[in-house]
Structure 1
Amino acid sequence: MTTRTFRITVRGVFDQLTDAQRAELLAHAAEHDVLRAAFTPEGHLSYDLAARPAFTFRFSDTGEAEEDILPATERAQAAARAWLESRGYGFAKLRAQAEDLSLAPLGKRARREAAKHTG
């Protein structure tokens, strides 16, 4: 059986942050810049609090079957919630979206590479 790779995006908005929390997030904004965003097993947080209160966590996970994407999505959402709650950050509108990369259509370059190895 092959291993499937899942990319899970958890989005939400910061809600009712205190001035101290806002200052803390702004102080660490460079670490959470969207240009540094990556899908990681532990999750990567990105936000631009100066522009808007929205945030995005990006997680990667694996499974052996297509239906493993559901528990992977639940784990990612729980991890994002735990990270926010452990720091006392208020949040709202938490939602998750997942993609099974084995089902994603290949781009032009990937199709060309695949053709090289099969033909």
Structure 2
Amino acid sequence: MATEHTYRVIVRGTWDGLTEEARARLLAEADDHGLAQLRFTPEGSLAYDRSLTSFTYRYVIVSDAADGEELAAALAEEKAEQALRAAGLGHRGLRSSATDMDTMKVNRKRR
């Protein structure tokens, strides 16, 4: 049985070819997608600002540890691509970074 690890993945991209309708919708919802609302979730959490130049998704991905961070990043990019396509939002240049939470070392302050 393979060991599963939990990855936190940040997917970044830029808006591209947004329709006027999409721009208006994004601007109307901008306050709901600021940095304060950004969380790592399995469904993904979207953040952007009113300039509508770039965006960030944060995901929690659970996958086989043997597949590593590369697969977790690819899975998160695929989820972001699907969410953006379903919402009719034009974008380009998706890139991601993943952190394996099960191997991350936490330095605790000594008292």
- The TM-score bracket by the shorter chain reads 0.7 to 0.9
Other structure's SS at 1:26 match: helix
Instruction: Provide the residue aligned with 2:13 in structure 1.
Output: 12
Q: Give the structure with the higher percent helix.
A: 1
Give the aligned length. 110
Taking the TM superposition and a 5 Å limit, the aligned residue runs for 1:1-119 are 3-48=4-49, 50-109=50-109, 112=110
Where does the alignment leave 5 or more consecutive residues of structure 1 unmatched? 113-119
Q: Normalising by the residue count of structure 1, what TM-score does the alignment of the two structures yield? A: 0.80
Query: Which ranges in structure 2 are unaligned for 5 or more consecutive residues?
Result: none
State how far apart, in whole Å, the 2-side matches of 1:107 and 1:26 are: 40
Query: Structure 1, residues 5-63: CA drift from partner, whole Å, max 9, x if none?
Result: 20011100101212211110011112211111000001100100x23511000000123
8 Å CA contact 1:63–1:69 kept in 2: the answer is: no
Judged with a 3 Å threshold, the aligned counterparts in structure 2 of structure 1 residues 81 and 53 are, in CA distance, closer, same or farther, namely same
How well do the aligned residues superpose, as a CA RMSD in angstroms?
Answer: 2.1
Amino acid paired to 1:105: K
1:38-92 CA distance string (max 9 Å, x none): 00001100100x2351100000012342534333222211110011111221111
Equivalent position amino acid for 1:19 in 2 = E
The verdict on how the C-alpha distance between 1:53 and 1:16 changes in structure 2, with shifts beyond 3 A counting, is: same
Measure, in 2, the Cα distance between the counterparts of 1:100 and 1:9.
12
Report the identity percentage: 36
Using the TM superposition, give the Cα deviation of residue 96 of structure 1 relative to its aligned residue in structure 2, in angstroms: 1.2
Moved over 6 A (4+): none
> Based on CA coordinates, which of the two structures has the bigger radius of gyration?
1
